[in-house]
């Protein structure tokens, strides 16, 4: 595959849309549309920025899950605490802010921050990091009027039941599965 052209076709408030024109393996042009949080000026910038994070948080062996309404699918799903990194923030500041805004909790201990990975490669260049941590505090709501989020800690058994009956974001679903099978016990129990 060879990239021939790179054009911005829409400049939205949060998302920008780009049309990429490739020469495919049959020597035919293939147009491919992506969205990005980034205002890209060249193809070299594609997929270079770290845009946000997902927080895999535990307290006393239980996993934090958010049940939140997502406008993009018009329904409630289970998800991890997550959000966009602001331009002037460090990763640690983003973790602290997102965790506090969505749950009221505070980081007790960072266990691991994975390197950036692509969140939705079929349609975007968005890169996020996964953070594993222990948290403390009490739940409180600091979300905007446009967010509807319910927070709770879940046991492995509760998570296993949720996997059979509820809808998840894909990243959250995979992590909840590993947790319910006991593969995250060391992290969950600090």
pLDDT at 108: 97
21 contacts 31 by C-beta, under 8 angstroms? yes
| 190 has pLDDT over 90 | no
Q: Would you place residue 32 in the very low, low, confident or very high pLDDT band (cuts 50, 70, 90)?
A: very high
| 43 has pLDDT over 90 | no
Q: Which residue, among 48, 43, 28, 15, has the nearest Cα to 127 in the 3D structure?
A: 48
Its pTM stands at 0.93
Rounded distance between C-alpha atoms, residue 101 and residue 63, angstroms: 18
Q: Which residue, among 110, 105, 150, has the nearest Cα to 130 in the 3D structure?
A: 110
152 vs 14, residue with greater confidence: 152
CATH of 52-188, one of 3.30.950.10, 3.90.180.10, 3.90.79.10, 3.40.309.10: 3.90.79.10
Rounded distance between C-alpha atoms, residue 100 and residue 89, angstroms: 15
| 139 has pLDDT over 90 | yes
pLDDT at 47: 92
Q: What is the mean pLDDT of the chain?
A: 95
Q: Which residue, among 55, 65, 77, 81, has the nearest Cα to 180 in the 3D structure?
A: 65
C-alpha torsion 110→112→113→117, nearest 10: -150
What digits encode the pLDDT tens for the residues 106-131? 999 999 999 999 999 989 999 999 99
pLDDT, mean of residues 156-161: 98
What digits encode the pLDDT tens for the residues 51-86? 999 999 999 999 999 999 999 999 999 999 999 999
Based on the number of CB atoms within 10 Å of its own CB, is 41 exposed (0-12), middle (13-18) or buried (19 or more)? exposed
């Amino acid at each position: 595959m060879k990239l021939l052209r790179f054009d911005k076709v829409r400049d939205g408030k949060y998302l920008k849309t780009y049309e990429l024109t490739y020469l495919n393996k049959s020597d035919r042009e293939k147009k491919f549309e992506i969205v990005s949080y980034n205002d890209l000026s060249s193809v070299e910038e594609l997929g270079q920025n770290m845009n946000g994070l997902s927080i895999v948080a535990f307290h006393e062996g239980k996993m934090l899950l958010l049940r939140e309404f997502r406008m993009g699918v018009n329904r409630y799903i289970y998800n991890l605490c997550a959000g966009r990194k602001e331009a002037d923030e460090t990763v640690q500041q983003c973790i602290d802010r997102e965790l506090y805004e969505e749950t009221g909790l505070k980081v007790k201990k960072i266990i691991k921050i994975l390197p950036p990975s692509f969140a939705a490669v079929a349609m975007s260049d968005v890169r996020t990091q996964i953070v594993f941590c222990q948290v403390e505090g009490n739940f409180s709501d600091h979300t905007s009027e446009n967010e509807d989020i319910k927070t709770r800690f879940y046991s492995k058994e509760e998570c296993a039941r949720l996997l059979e009956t509820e809808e998840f974001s894909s990243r959250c679903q995979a992590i909840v599965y590993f947790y319910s099978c006991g593969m995250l016990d060391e992290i969950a129990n600090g």
